[in-house]
Every structure is written in C-alpha cells, then in structure tokens.
Amino acid sequence: MACKERNGTVYEAKSKSFQPSSLTATTWLSLREYRGVPFLHRCFHCYSAVCALVCPVDAHIVTDYGAVVIQQDRCIGCGRCAEVCCYGVPRQGLDRRYKKCDLCLDRIAQGKPPACVEACPVGALKFGKIEDIYKAAREEEAKGRCTYGIELTHWVYVYSDQEAFEAFLGDVARRKDAEKIKNILSFPTKRGAPPPVSYLGIEGAVIALSIAALVAWRQNRIREKKEGGHE
C-alpha cells in the first residue's frame, strides 16, 4: 500500500488483495511465493543494469543513489529492457511506456528511506549506504544465513535457512531465460560497457532481512480482522 500511495498508482480491479502476487505497470512491489517460501519481487536495481545498457534512447539511467530509473519522457516503449531483465521486472503501461520501481528516488534525495522500508511494521526492510548494507549482509552470513545480491544489486536478500535460500534462487533461475541473455549481445547500443557505479558515499541499498516475519504479521492482522467481524 505504501508503494502505491507514494507513486499514485491504482489497484487492479481484479485484485482481491491489497498486496498483488505479480508485478504490473501499476504494481511495482509484490509478495510472491515459490515452493512455499515468501519473498518480495521488485526491481533489484542492479549494479551493471543491462536494461540501461541496451536502451536505445537512454531512457534508463543508473543514478548516483544506486536507483535504476526509467525516464518516462524518453521511453519509446520498444521493450528491450523487458527482454533482457533476468528478473522479469519492467512492465508496459497503457501509454506503451515501461514502468518499474525507482527506489523512491525523490525520497532518497531528501534523506528519507523508500516508502516500503518506512512502512514495514516488523523492520524486515532496512535502507542505508550501500557499504553499510553489504556489511550488515556479511554479518548475517557469518551467523550462517544465506544472502543474495552482495556486490551485484542494490536490493539484498537475507534468508535464515538454506531451503528458503534455494527456493528463492530457484525462482530467479526460473526467470533467467537463456535466449534473453543471449539477446543482450545482439542489441545495438551507444555504450560499450555497463553504466559506471557511483562511489560518492550517497549510493543506497535495501536489505530484506526477514520476509517470513512480514508474512506472519500480515496473516495475524487478517485473522484478527476476521475474528473481529471485519473483512
């Protein structure tokens, strides 16, 4: 809800939940399950964002804050970003332009965390300078937990057990279409290398520490409302 409120996007008419299970042009954050393991699906804000590399009109940019943003006034709706995204993130809107999470760039520029981080009731999401986030993730690794995204993306996952971690990687692998990856090399581009990564000390990242805790909280809230006679 916080994501939609911040971005002014609408709820899909067919959705029966305030938290849809898949991304759309107006839903940039969804709660998915794979093999019974919950995780948040949204843009990973990759270090070397291939979507920015292949965009023929430079609509995709990697900002100094680490956010990968689609400039709507430049997007021509060609779909190359969607073709090469390993995570199936960019979605085409009714205006033919592609949409996705921008990591609440305006909030970050004001020194605020992304809306999803601020709204999380159990503190499962943390935001900060990228070096601090990676340090926190490595500390979790030292405790025996599994991580994904260190030195790779600005959205880092931490899972408490191997089974959950493998389930998450299974979903990522399921999305990685070999043909899409191969197509990266065939797309014409003005640039010969991925966008540079900023080391200005303002680059930010988000760490997802315990999605299971967030799911449990939501389930308890739903149960409480039903027991109280509210839908």
pLDDT in tens, 177-193: 555 544 544 444 433 33
Q: Rounded mean pLDDT of 125-149?
A: 89
Count the domains in the chain. 1
Q: Confirm whether 101 is domain-assigned.
A: yes
Question: Pick the residue with more confidence: 223 or 48?
Answer: 48
Where is 135: in which H helix or E strand? helix 130-142
Strand 155-159 relative to strand 204-208, pairing: parallel
Average pLDDT of the residues of the chain: 76
Residue 193 sits in a domain of what CATH number? 3.30.70.20
Residue 140 C-alpha from the chain's centroid? 20
pLDDT at res. 68 = 94
Q: Confirm whether 12 is domain-assigned.
A: no
pLDDT at res. 187 = 45
Is the pLDDT at 34 greater than 80? The verdict is no
Q: Rounded mean pLDDT of 142-148?
A: 87
Q: Rounded mean pLDDT of 169-177?
A: 66
pLDDT at res. 220 = 62
pLDDT at res. 191 = 38
Domain span holding position 45: 2-6+19-227
% the chain with pLDDT above 90: 22
Q: Do 101 and 42 form a contact (C-beta atoms < 8 A)? A: yes
Q: Do 134 and 126 form a contact (C-beta atoms < 8 A)? A: no
Q: Confirm whether 196 is domain-assigned.
A: yes
pTM comes to 0.75
Q: Confirm whether 113 is domain-assigned.
A: yes
pLDDT at res. 196 = 32
Q: Confirm whether 13 is domain-assigned.
A: no
CA distances (Å), origin 76, targets 58, 95, 107, 202? 10, 10, 26, 30
Return the number of other C-beta atoms located less than 10 Å from residue 181's C-beta: 12
% the chain with pLDDT above 70: 68
Is the pLDDT at 33 greater than 80? The verdict is no
pLDDT per residue over 62-120, tens digit each?
Answer: 998 889 999 999 999 999 999 888 888 999 999 999 999 999 989 988 989 999 899 88
Is the pLDDT at 213 greater than 60? The verdict is no
Q: Confirm whether 25 is domain-assigned.
A: yes
Q: Confirm whether 11 is domain-assigned.
A: no
